[in-house]
Amino acid sequence: MKKAENIIVGISIGDLNGIGSEVILKTFEDTRMLEFCTPVIFANVKILSFIKKNLNSEAALHGIDRIDQLVKGKINVLNVWKEGVDINFGQNDDVVGKYAIKSFVAATAALKEGLVDVLVTAPINKYNIQSEDFKFPGHTDYLDQELEGNALMFMIQDNLRVGLLTDHIPVTDVAKHLTEKLIIQKIETINKSLKQDFNITKPKIAVLGLNPHAGDNGVIGNEEEKIIRPTIKKLFDKGIFAFGPYSADGFFGSGQYEKYDAVIASYHDQGLIPFKTLSFGAGVNYTAGLNKIRTSPDHGTAYEIAGKGIADFNSFKEAVYLAIDIYNSRNEYEVLVKNPLKTKEKQL
């Protein structure tokens, strides 16, 4: 198993006109972070130095042209491009969007090739990243294509873990996407993630209903009775401890979520509104279900405060910590699965 400082954290720069660069620099200004990992920022050292100067950051950047030139104990910046880019904080800019994707695609390639151990992505603007070469709604959909497995949006803050059956689709389309196949796939993905990524031996998963009051036994919609409840029973009979469907309106406010290792919501806002309310800016977006590890902060580009030096970097820092923790957990899980008797003897 790698020592802490040998864990290489690849970082995509995100939208250069947003707060991504600021939260990255603030995270690694604290040199103690370099005891936990070796960061490699996929960007351009001259541009990041310009942003650093604008923010009066004390982060010491080390520019490299190849990833094998990285230095432990340094904030490495891999030059993905050489040319200059005009930075206008707070502005939506299609050119800047193209560089955000250049960074992300290069970082993903390095992750696939094992040149970095984990990937942490700074926020992008979903509108200015679109092009003939990149036609994805965001990071997760591209990673789902490039990496093995089935991507699932999993929001994490300590013991609060919220997954989604459907994510970036219109609310009007949610019901028709809720099939038995999808529900089984997503719950199995969460169950596996809880075991291998969070060291939970027998996970308990709560499933929220789609309709108000979880359908009230078919009075307010029938998706719960026709699809969700029978699928949960099928999974339970297979040995996956899934429970529900529960009425979503009081589930978080009553503290009921604390009885479970994860909660899975039917659609984006059903899960993310309570999550972001409870996580107080320390939440992390983790892409579960893939053969590689990717995390990101739970916020966007925040154009309205970009370049002002006032961005809260806590969520990004937590994203780095979580990526490292999951990397270590997966290594331990692999050892346990491959050598269960040996691991048990070691514990004794």
| Whether residue 144 has pLDDT greater than 70 | yes
Burial class (CB in 10 A: 0-12, 13-18, 19+), 176: exposed
Nearest 5°: phi and psi at 336?
Answer: -65, -45
The torsion defined by the Cα of 183, 185, 187 and 188, in degrees rounded to 10, comes to: 150
Given a cut of 90, whether residue 343 has pLDDT beyond it is no
Q: Which two tokens stand for residue 299?
A: 């916020």
For the chain, first and last CA: distance in Å? 20
- pLDDT value of position 346: 45
Extract the tokens encoding 118. Answer: 């984990």
Residue 138, classed as helix, strand or coil, is: coil
pLDDT at 345 over 70: no
pLDDT category at 168 given cuts 50, 70, 90 is confident
Fold match flag (1-148+291-348 vs 153-285): yes
- CATH fourth-level superfamily of 1-148+291-348: Isopropylmalate Dehydrogenase (3.40.718.10)
Q: Where are the domains of the chain?
A: 1-148+291-348, 153-285
Spatial neighbors of 199 by CB under 8 A, at least 6 apart, are 329, 332, 333
Place of tokens 């351009």: 44
pLDDT in tens, 278-317: 998 899 999 999 999 999 999 999 999 999 999 999 999 9
How confident is the model at residue 3, as a pLDDT?
67
Q: For the domain bounded by 153-285, which CATH number is listed?
A: 3.40.718.10
C-alpha–C-alpha distance, residues 33 and 160, integer Å = 24
The pLDDT value recorded for residue 347 is 46
